[in-house]
Amino acid sequence: MALLRAAFSSLLFSSALALVQDLDDTFKDSRMEDVWLVDFYAPWCGYCKKLEPIWQEVGAELTRSGSPVRVGKMDGTAYSGVASEFGVRGYPTIKLLKGELAYNYKGPRTKDDIIEFANRVAGPAVRSLPSRQMFEHVLKRHSVLFLYVGGESPLKEKYTEVASELIVCTYFFSASEDVLPESVALHELPSVVVFKDGTYFTYDEYEDGSLSSWVNRERFQSYLPIDGFTLYELGETGKLVAIAVTDERDPTERSSRLKGLIQRVATEHRDQFNRDFQFGHMEGNDYINSLIMGEVSVPSIIILNTSNEQYFVPAEPVEDLEQLLRFFSSVLDGSAPAFGGDGFFQRIKRVAYDARSTIMSVFRSSPLLGCFLFGLPLGVISLMCYGICMAESDDDTELMKRDGFTDEEEEEGEEEEQQRLTAGAEGEEDEDAEKIEQKSPTEKKVD
């Protein structure tokens, strides 16, 4: 019986794998009928190869759960026209295609995160919560959620527009006032509320600006773990990203102390810094080093401005909360020195750094392919230069041969010509002397 169940599960899994469809250029004509989750990849891309088994698991899980989302993959190098039409700029690129809309996935490339993204974007932009039990259920499931409370209004129309735009980032719900627990007190209805960090914050049009900007700023927890996938998403909020670069293996526990200090700033000083800063921590300094093209010590504090690639570091190690607060304030008032940036020389440095990193990545992932891609052009260029140099040398030799000279003969000819000139000059001097001797005394006197 156990063997039968195992065989049945294997059969279901194999069927699910088959539903990860290899797509071609006919896909764009038929895709409107369904919701598609598509991986645009390149055969030579090392990151694409790492994503492949995860992508198969995504297809299997969505099929098993009965999701309406269909999963496919497309070789962007073979069908570059289709990839370009969907705005693919690099590999791998994950997009959810829903009618005329195309949503980019920018999160961690894990099975659970990709599936959560697909289910969220494939559903309605605003989900209704009919009961308090349902509200408490989704509140436990999501670290950040937005809720519209009230009836029909212009604010609800605006909320729906923002949800359609930012559903790729977070969840949007609506409910009546009686769904909320008694601990949630709203001063007026309708209202838009964000629940996060164990509390809630209400949108105020006069203090917070446009609803879209407010949602974009509040769509993350005040403090969270940061990796390379989420860093620029945090930057898209328009905030500076303050990071504790840490190491869990730090025997002095200084890493945990820095994390604790930044968490205190995020929670205890929200009114002062929340509009301008997003707080978090990152394990290890490899990614930060590649980002700033430098070396960041571990543990330490760094503030990144992803809009212009500037960064700020404290002049001395941070030891207490007051010192950290002064550092953040100096960044805001412009007194802290900024490093990096997107100036001309920095862009040149970035191009050179990225080129070197790309070459090293290709050689690490596929040494033979790297030798072929970079060795063949260098070999061709070397042969061309050698041929040009040899052609010039042969032309000079041929010219001398046509003139009847070799190198040695030309040197001998020059020596003989010099001797003839010298001999001619001496002969003229002797001849003049003889003429003078033959003159009469009267001619000499005249001379």
SS3 assignment for 408-440: HHHHHHHHHHHHHHHHHHHHHHHHHHHHHHHCC
Degrees to nearest 5, angle at CA 125 with 111 and 96: 40
- Residue 194 contacts residue 220 (beta carbons within 8 Å): no
Phi, psi (rounded to 5 degrees) for 145: -145, 145
52 Cβ contact partners less than 8 Å away, ≥ 6 residues apart:
41
Active site residue 48: yes
Active site residue 169: no
- Residue 282 contacts residue 246 (beta carbons within 8 Å): yes
Q: From CA 329, how far away is CA 349, in angstroms rounded?
A: 30
- Determine which one of 48, 169, 385, 389 is catalytic: 48
In the chain, what are the helix, strand and coil shares in percent, each to the nearest 5? Answer: 55, 15, 30
Q: From CA 195, how far away is CA 139, in angstroms rounded?
A: 8
147 three-class SS: strand
Q: What is the DSSP string of 30-72?
A: HGGGSEEEEEEE-TT-HHHHHHHHHHHHHHHHHHHTT-SEEEE
Phi, psi (rounded to 5 degrees) for 22: -80, 120
Query: What distance, in Å, lies between the first and last C-alpha atoms of the chain?
Result: 141
- Residue 7 contacts residue 57 (beta carbons within 8 Å): no
183 three-class SS: coil
Which are the catalytic amino acids? 45, 48
